[in-house]
Structure 1
Amino acid sequence: MTAGWVHHLIIAPVVLPLAAGAFMLLFDERRRALKATISLVSAILLLGIAITLMSLADASAPGASVYLLGNWPAPFGIVLVLDRLSALMLVLTGILAIASLVFAMARWQRMGPHFHTIFQLLLMGLNGAFLTGDLFNLFVFFEVLLASSYGLVLHGSGPLRVKAGLHYIAFNLAASALFLIGVSLLYGVTGTLNMADLAQRIPSVAPEDRMLLEAGAAILGIAFLVKAGMWPLSFWLPPAYAAAAAPVAAIFAILSKVGIYILLRLSLLFFGVEAGASSGFGSDWLLLGGMATIAFGLIGVLASQAMGRLAGYSVLVSSGTLLAAIGIGNTAITGGALFYLVSSTLTISAFFLLVELVERGQDTAAAVLAVTMEAYGDEYEDAVDEEVGLAIPATLAILGACFVVCGILLTGLPPFSGFVAKFLLVASIFNPTGLGASAEISPTDWILVALIILSGLSALIAMTRTGIRTFWASLEGKVPRVLVIEVLPVAGLLLLCLLLAIQAGPAMRYMEAAAQSLHAPQNYIKSVLAAPRAGGGGGESR
């Protein structure tokens, strides 16, 4: 629908970080200030481009904007497809990238070689995964972001980081192998890897081949469920995220959402109401798996003594909630789930950054002593007496305020976006609307609502306990040295959560429109398969 230079911006989120990452390799590693400047400028430009593309996607609705690479028509050539959902994920990626890079400029960029180049390649993989319109290039971008994440998860070295990083690499390599197997089976049955073309061919698959088709889809789904962190495939995630460097963990908050995005996209595109005998395939497993993941995550939150692991298990609670919402599969809950996705990702990213600042002023022996006191009573009361009467420094006051806001967001209390997101989810479960809606509230729905409420209660208990032990009953008087450049990203992400709550109406209208487009995939299919070549139509998508 849109001609001219704006249409060519669709490829920019892939090309720009690739060019920036390659360009930085030309400079000596000791020129960190120059590399940091290039990387940050690239991230800022990416966010500006993503916001522009969001406006383009909104204007192109109900269809999608299609970019034909090499000017080959679909399904024969490579296509990039922009709709409301992919544009939303691009904006979210840009925001987290800027926050992580600003935080890393304080000291983390010096902890290992080629940090900024690897970071830019990660952004390239993320943006490509959100934009691609075929499974082959989804695998390519998936591998680019995974290979980059391997380097980032080990950034800074240290035995704990290396151990957790090796587990992370092993699990994700297994997921990559499953990805290839699943894609091969789908191609063997349908003869295509273009997503729109696959969606068009699935209803007409012969009955004798349908089992093979669903087996391939199930194997492909497991690969994405590993990335999303669904129980019991999630044991690697909390240790790896907790051990990663703070800016790395902050951008990793969106990596689990890559699996969520692909599952949401493909489940409605391939197995929606028009998929014939395979309609609704896997939805019950997503619902049950999501609820199991919430239960596992909230238990982990309650059991966590270290803030890093608390944040890691909060990722599982977020993923489980989104997986269950995908499993229910009506339009209303999909819109609420998208709002929750944005809110929870911003919150967890800010929390990972905050954890490093807070724990910088603590030592391991004091942390162990605090847990011992909590378990065995007041035997060590004299150790705290010497801190009585100390004034709370401004640094601790600022960190404490940010910690409280993170706790409110994770718990789902007003006035921040966490409350709005959980309210929308619960309301959509009890009042379903749109495609896939059922007038009857099942026992499974009640269990899911109970788990959502219990996850908030567990976050409240864990954050209150951790906050008291860290800020009110700290055993050491050391005040962490925190720079303004480190506090700004945390405060910025939390302010965005507040802004999301204030602008919940316009934001939710966008989410609902995106959900309606996802549940009506025929517009997506038509836009991709009918996209004209540049010589005949100026490269426009209709």
Structure 2
Amino acid sequence: MTTAIANHLIIAPIVLPLLVGAALLLMDDRRRPLKALLSVSSTAALLVISMFLVWRADGMTALSHTVSYPLGNWPAPFGIVLVLDRLSAMMVLLTSVLGLAGLVFSLARWHRAGPHFHTLFLFQLMGLNGAFLTGDLFNLFVFFEILLAASYGLVLHGMGVVRVKAGLHYIVVNLAASSLFLIGVSLIYGVSGTLNMADLALRIPTLAESDRMFLEAGAAILGVAFLVKAGMWPLSFWLPTAYAAASAPAAAVFAIMTKVGVYVLLRLSLLLFGNGAAESAHFGTQVLLYGGMATIAFGAVGVLATQTMSRLAGYSVLVSSGTLLAAIGVGNATATSGALFYLVNSTLAIGGFFLLIELVERGRDPGADVLAVTMAAYGYTDEDDVAEEVEVGERIPTVVAFLGGSFIAFALLLAGLPPLSGFIAKFALLTAIMDPAGIGTGGPQYVVTWVLVALLILSGLSAMLAMTRIGIQTFWSPIDGVVPGVRGVEIAAVAFLLLLCVALTVRAGTVFDFMESTAASLHAPTDYINSVLQGRAGAAGQGGATP
């Protein structure tokens, strides 16, 4: 593959789903088999391209691991630029993996539940990939709106009273977040005169004190918009209900849509507000630390209190987001590398769990969980009835065995217990936080360190207790013994994500090497700035780059 073709592949994760999605929009909706074939094929191609981009971002020469792609060949900061580095390539790959799993799962029935499902799904992938690859705040806003517009259709896909009600709340909240985004971007541009991220990193240290106040106000407003998307408490009231109401394929992709907010906060906090940002250094990190801790606590309580699997998964998203936000607030490279590993593991686990939930609940009465809790509270058991109906030595259906085994695996992943990758991710985070170079070794910060450690451990314990309780109600003593009917594509999608989590466990050393390199480049962003601005970071004394 020539260098020119390889360079143009950077824009492929945006252009490919855009073109295929637009073409499918023009096709008659009755030609669903052809539309499904084109959609899945393009997403599979997207997965191959994203794997190449990860290899390229990690396999560059020692001079540069970051590649900029100026659209129209207009130089930055005047033109639109896409930037490929390890972090953006990893997020694009993660998007492609979840997108392919969700699309394959939807072939069983969800792609027929409403019009233009494949177009909405592909536009969702396009918006996500664009948000991860862009190097400009305004174009981040554009891609943010694209992915939100597609998500509005996906969250309402399939209709139903519960889904429409939750979807309308979701739309209102995200429209408000978009308004905050636009206000924050406007303030930043009014003060700095640029929205290119690399150019901002150079200009922030030189701002006058009066301008710095407005810049930080704009950054704070922008941060609130992304904290809404990331689900930080108390801005997370909408998330569990909306994610629980969405269709399984949509909810699986929403697992990474929440990480868009985390990605942007991680990127901007280290690029714009690193050690070299003068008086603005480390702006907002304490908010992320304490807000993340509050989100972990809120999510853990929600996990324990909920009686349905779908809402349990929604609160697990909050625990994941809170953990990542707190890790960003810790602010050292070791914690960042552990957080990146945790991000990949938790996103795959929660996405796969959303898919599994539909298969498990398909053969159950919608009120079975609540009824089971009520029966337990009043001490009612039906052991005699079960003894009469179930024969000794009855063969467990293969479907139930697969669902039960997958449920156990996801329980271990979400709780962070060995031997799967969830334990490795939690252990890496705890090691980084308890390191003397972490939050602090004395005074109030010492207390914060141990509170965060306790929250991480207790959140895993709450996930284990909740999953055990719901697992017993579902598989051990079900009120109804109906074996759900599932299709091969649904099993394949769930198994695909589970196997990737197993691969993360087996190849943890290799993955951690990549995460450590990614964290090191994020904490020293000179290479990023040089790639976008063609060497201006060195001439300007590295600006916002961390020495």
- Structure 2 length-normalised TM: 0.94
Instruction: Say whether 1:139 aligns with 2:141.
Output: yes
Q: Please say if residues 411 and 455 of structure 1, whose CA atoms lie closer than 8 Å, have aligned partners that are also in contact.
A: yes
> For residues 139-168 of structure 1, what are the alpha-carbon distances to aligned partners after superposition, in whole Å with 9 as ceiling and x for unaligned?
000000000000000000000000111111
What do residues 172-218 of structure 1 show as CA deviations (whole Å, max 9, x unaligned)? Answer: 00000000000000001100000000111011110112111111000
Kindly indicate whether residue 516 of structure 2 is the aligned counterpart of residue 517 of structure 1.
Answer: no
Partner residue in 2 for 1:258: 260
Which among 79, 86, 91 is matched to residue 89 of structure 1? 91
Q: Counterparts of 1:52-201 in structure 2 under 5 Å?
A: 52-60=52-60, 62-201=64-203
Classify 1:412/1:351 alpha carbon distance in 2 versus 1 (closer, same or farther; 3 Å): same
CA distance in 1, matches of 2:388, 2:135: 63
Judged with a 3 Å threshold, the aligned counterparts in structure 2 of structure 1 residues 414 and 4 are, in CA distance, closer, same or farther, namely: same
Change (3 A) 1:461 1:97: same
Aligned to 1:25, the other structure's residue is in SS state helix
How far off is 1:133 after superposition? 0.4
1:239-254 maps to which residues of 2 (within 5 A)? 239-254=241-256
Deviates more, 1:202-211 or 1:329-338: 202-211
Contact kept, 8 Å, 1:271 with 1:279, in 2: the verdict is yes
Q: What is the CA–CA distance in structure 2 between the aligned matches of 1:514 and 1:7, rounded to whole Å?
A: 20
Give, as a single letter, the amino acid of the residue that structure 1 aligns with 2:380.
D
Query: Aligned partners of 2:321, 2:511: CA distance in 1, in Å?
Result: 21
Find out whether 1:462 has 2:466 as its counterpart. yes
Q: How does 1:269-348 map to 2 (within 5 A)?
A: 269-348=271-350
Is 2:433–2:439's contact at 8 Å kept on the other side of the alignment? Answer: no
Deviations 1:240-293 (A, max 9, x none): 101100111011110100000000000101100000000010000000000000
Distance 1:438 1:233 in 2: 28
3-state SS in 2 of match to 1:156: coil
Secondary structure of 1:446's aligned partner: helix
Opposite residue 403 of structure 1, the aligned amino acid is F
Give the equivalent residue in structure 2 for 1:354. 356
Question: Which residues of structure 2 form unaligned runs of 5+?
Answer: 537-547
- Distance in 1 (alpha carbons) for counterparts of 2:529 and 2:401: 53
**Is 1:482 aligned to 2:478, yes or no?**
no
Relative to the length of structure 1, the TM-score reads: 0.95
Flag structure 1 segments of 5+ consecutive residues without an equivalent: 533-542
1:355: Cα distance to partner?
Answer: 0.3
Residue identity matched to 2:477: A
Using the TM superposition, give the Cα deviation of residue 517 of structure 1 relative to its aligned residue in structure 2, in angstroms: 0.4
Write the deviation string for residues 314-346 of structure 1: whole angstroms up to 9, x where unpaired.
Answer: 000000000000001100000000000000000
Over the aligned positions, Cα root-mean-square deviation in angstroms equals 1.6
Q: Name the structure 1 match of 2:46.
A: 46
Amino acid at match of 1:44: A
Alignment equivalent of 2:475, drawn from 456, 471, 480:
471
The share of aligned pairs that are identical, in percent, is 65
State the Cα distance separating 1:367 from its structure 2 match.
3.3
CA gap of 1:76–1:456, structure 2 versus 1, over 3 A, is: same
How far is 1:59 from its partner?
A: 2.7
1:336–1:421: 8 Å Cα contact kept in structure 2? yes
**Count of aligned pairs between the two proteins:** 529
The secondary structure found in structure 1 opposite 2:29 is coil
Query: Do the aligned partners of 1:122 and 1:149 also contact (CA within 8 Å) in 2?
Result: yes
Note the C-alpha offset of 1:391: 4.1
| Residue in structure 1 matching 2:425, options 413, 417, 421 | 421
Please name the residue that 2:544 is paired with: none
Q: Structure 1 82/365 Cα, relative in aligned 2: closer, same or farther at 3 Å?
A: closer
Contact 2:440 2:446 in 1 (8 A): no
Residue 208 of structure 1: which of 207, 210, 230 is its match?
210
Secondary structure class of the residue paired with 2:170: helix
Corresponding residue SS for 1:30: coil
Counterparts in 2 of 1:181 and 1:114: CA distance versus 1, 3 Å? same
User: Residue 301 of structure 2 aligns to which amino acid in structure 1?
Assistant: I
Distance in 2, Cα, partners of 1:531 & 1:52: 26
Question: Which residue pairs with 1:20 in the alignment?
Answer: 20
Which one of the candidate residues 440, 449, 454 is aligned to 1:445? 449
- Alpha-carbon distance in 2 for matches of 1:454, 1:488: 33
Q: 1:80 to 1:170 in 2, by over 3 A?
A: same
Tell me if the contact between 1:330 and 1:432 (Cα under 8 Å) persists in the aligned partners. no
Look up the match of 1:536: none
